[in-house]
């Protein structure tokens, strides 16, 4: 048997997983979810969800992936041959494809704003005009569609040309840049007049804001941000060395992901209040707020603001691209390996499908704005379907599989890296309890209460 490639070190594992996890979910989605969910109270629920729901799912996916040394479908065939568990594999093919369709729409926005940054569009104008740019852009018929086409087209081309590794290596360069910029923007935002209210919004919980919707979306945000329930972490884990314990890589990835999200929240929310933007403004929130920040910065330090804007949007664009590549890759590998299609044909099929759904999502901000599915726009429907339902269902079954189906000895062995690392007495039983009981029951209760309340 061919020896599988491995990650060289624990740090390399964490960096690769964090590379998948950190993306638009942290920078674009987290701030607007906080805004819709009512601020600090949402953040608390988000943190709790991460601890008691997401971490067990993360560990479950890692345990399955590493013990099977293959992606979801292969893992299910190997660990539970001939059983219904293979359906779990199919969920993990469908969800990333729906996900990438609307992710590409936002990727397209970040492309447009990257071009605007290069054109120095943010740095000369009045901050109050600049914050209207997003609204003007989105209401145009063609521009958002063209940007979406470019984004998904580029994603598919990268997968077709097999240069994915190159882009991912490039992202290792832009990630730290993004990190530094977010920290700088955060300090700047907090210094803006009127920002104090935003800080308070992020820090002082108003518990009356917590309801079923808030809890569901905090849970969904946590899954989305950590790339859970769609087999991504499972697949990455299949490349982790056998003697590595899975606790460290899980906690490390979650830590970086959380830091990025929190910093983005603290960079955006104070500026939202300073700019007089409605925190619940929805998916456009950062595209209204950040140009305002750059324009404000431009009034005092135009060169600095131009450089910051360019670097920021380039980094966001690259971060979005590395995530979208990994989503398209799942579908392409499936069509090639299981359906025997050529690479070119597989990419073409995925392109056509995701492009079409993406067009509908994009138009839901304009011409199809009045078309609703269960009270949501097409874009929101796809987003909620994936993060609040499909990812949760995927996660639920991953925890059930590890908690109740897999051989407990095997589970323990995998988690502790063949016992090569001592995992402190209480840790493993706690993790196992979370995987068997807390995470599955938590997800089911949230589902049921959504359905009936
Ligand atoms: N976690 C990624 C982000 O935050 C999105 C993603 C989800 C990537 C699922 C891969 C799989 O943007």
- pLDDT of amino acid 308: 95
- Interval between CA 256 and ligand 1 midpoint (Å): 14
Lowest mean pLDDT: which of 26-35, 151-160, 324-333?
324-333
Lowest mean pLDDT: which of 55-64, 67-76, 273-282, 428-437?
67-76
Helices (H), 131-163: 133-138, 143-161
Average pLDDT (352-362) is 98
Task: State whether the beta carbon of 64 lies less than 6 angstroms from ligand 1.
Answer: no
Q: With 70 as the cut, is the pLDDT of residue 3 above it?
A: no
Quick one: CA dihedral 130, 306, 167, 149, positive or negative? positive
Output the residue whose Cα is nearest ligand 1's atom 11.
Answer: 227
Task: State whether the beta carbon of 324 lies less than 6 angstroms from ligand 1.
Answer: no
- Interval between CA 222 and ligand 1 midpoint (Å): 10
Tell me the longest C-alpha to C-alpha distance in the chain: 66
- pLDDT of amino acid 88: 93
Average pLDDT (99-112) is 98
- Render pLDDT for 161-183 as a digit per residue (tens, 0 to 9): 988 888 888 888 888 999 999 99
Give the distance from CA 360 to its chain's centroid. Answer: 21
Q: With 80 as the cut, is the pLDDT of residue 260 above it?
A: yes
Task: State whether the beta carbon of 89 lies less than 6 angstroms from ligand 1.
Answer: no
Structure tokens at 305: 């603001």
Task: State whether the beta carbon of 110 lies less than 6 angstroms from ligand 1.
Answer: no
Task: State whether the beta carbon of 222 lies less than 6 angstroms from ligand 1.
Answer: no
Task: State whether the beta carbon of 326 lies less than 6 angstroms from ligand 1.
Answer: yes
- Interval between CA 19 and ligand 1 midpoint (Å): 9
- pLDDT of amino acid 1: 43
d(CA 340, CA 336): 5
Average pLDDT (219-237) is 95
- pLDDT of amino acid 244: 85
- pLDDT of amino acid 421: 66
Cβ distance 362 to 378 under 8 Å? Answer: no
- pLDDT of amino acid 123: 87
Output b/e per residue, 361-395; b: 16+ Cβ within 10 A.
bbbbbeebeeeeeeeebbbbbbbbbbbbbbbbbbb
Task: State whether the beta carbon of 23 lies less than 6 angstroms from ligand 1.
Answer: yes
d(CA 306, CA 238): 42
Between 88 and 423, name the one with better pLDDT.
Answer: 88
Lowest mean pLDDT: which of 14-18, 261-265, 373-377, 437-441?
14-18
Q: Which of 20, 26, 178, 391 to mutate to test the pocket of ligand 1 (most atoms within 8 A of CB)?
A: 20
Task: State whether the beta carbon of 347 lies less than 6 angstroms from ligand 1.
Answer: no
- pLDDT of amino acid 171: 84
Cβ distance 429 to 436 under 8 Å? Answer: no
- Interval between CA 225 and ligand 1 midpoint (Å): 6
Average pLDDT (415-444) is 89
Average pLDDT (132-154) is 96
Task: State whether the beta carbon of 57 lies less than 6 angstroms from ligand 1.
Answer: no
Q: With 80 as the cut, is the pLDDT of residue 371 above it?
A: yes
Model pTM score: 0.95
- Exposure of 342 by Cβ count < 10 A (0-12 exposed, 13-18 middle, 19+ buried)? exposed
Q: With 60 as the cut, is the pLDDT of residue 383 above it?
A: yes
- pLDDT of amino acid 370: 95
Cβ distance 356 to 184 under 8 Å? Answer: no
* Cβ atoms within 10 Å of 73's Cβ, excluding its own: 20
- Render pLDDT for 71-80 as a digit per residue (tens, 0 to 9): 899 899 999 9
For the chain, the average pLDDT equals 93
pLDDT bracket for residue 343 (50, 70, 90): very high
Q: With 60 as the cut, is the pLDDT of residue 427 above it?
A: yes
Q: With 50 as the cut, is the pLDDT of residue 69 above it?
A: yes
Average pLDDT (304-308) is 95
Q: With 80 as the cut, is the pLDDT of residue 426 above it?
A: yes
pLDDT bracket for residue 425 (50, 70, 90): confident
């Amino acid at each position: 048997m061919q020896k599988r490639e491995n990650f060289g070190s624990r740090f390399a594992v964490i960096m690769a997983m964090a590379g998948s996890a950190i993306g638009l979910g942290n920078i674009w989605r987290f701030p607007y979810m906080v805004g819709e969910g009512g601020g600090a109270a949402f953040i608390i629920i988000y943190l709790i969800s991460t601890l008691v729901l997401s971490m067990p799912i993360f560990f479950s996916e890692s345990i399955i992936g590493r013990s099977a040394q293959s992606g979801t479908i292969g893992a299910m065939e190997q660990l539970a041959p001939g059983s219904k568990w293979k359906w779990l594999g199919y969920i993990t093919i469908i969800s990333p494809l729906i996900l990438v369709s609307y992710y590409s729409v936002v990727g397209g926005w970040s492309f447009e704003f990257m071009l605007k940054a290069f054109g120095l569009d943010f740095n000369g104008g009045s901050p109050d005009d600049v914050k209207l740019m997003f609204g003007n852009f989105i209401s145009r018929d063609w521009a958002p569609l063209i940007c979406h086409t470019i984004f998904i087209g580029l994603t598919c081309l990268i997968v077709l040309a097999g240069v994915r590794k190159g882009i991912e290596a490039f992202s290792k360069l832009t990630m730290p840049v993004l990190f530094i910029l977010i920290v700088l923007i955060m300090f700047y935002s907090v210094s803006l007049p009127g920002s104090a209210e935003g800080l308070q919004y992020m820090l002082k919980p108003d518990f009356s804001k917590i309801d079923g919707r808030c809890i569901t979306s905090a849970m969904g945000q946590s899954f989305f941000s950590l790339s859970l329930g769609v087999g991504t972490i499972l697949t990455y884990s299949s490349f982790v060395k056998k003697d590595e314990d899975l606790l460290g890589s899980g906690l490390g990835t979650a830590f970086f992901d959380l830091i990025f999200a929190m910093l983005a929240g603290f960079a955006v929310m104070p500026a939202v209040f300073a700019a007089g933007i409605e925190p619940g403004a929805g998916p456009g929130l950062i595209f209204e707020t950040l140009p305002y920040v750059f324009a404000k910065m431009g009034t005092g330090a135009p060169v600095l603001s131009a450089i910051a804007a360019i670097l920021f949007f380039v980094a966001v664009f690259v971060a979005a691209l590395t995530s979208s590549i990994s989503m398209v890759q799942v579908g392409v590998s499936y069509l090639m390996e299981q359906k025997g299609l050529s690479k070119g044909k597989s990419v073409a099929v995925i392109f056509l499908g995701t492009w079409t759904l993406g067009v509908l999502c994009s138009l839901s901000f304009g011409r199809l704005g009045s078309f609703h599915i269960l009270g949501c726009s097409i874009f929101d429907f796809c987003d909620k379907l994936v993060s609040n339902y499909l990812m949760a269902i995927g996660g639920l079954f991953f925890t059930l599989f590890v908690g109740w189906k897999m051989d407990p000895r095997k589970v323990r062995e995998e988690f502790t890296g063949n016992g090569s690392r001592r995992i402190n007495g209480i840790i493993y039983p706690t993790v196992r309890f979370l995987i068997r009981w807390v995470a599955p029951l938590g997800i089911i209760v949230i589902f049921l209460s959504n359905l009936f309340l």
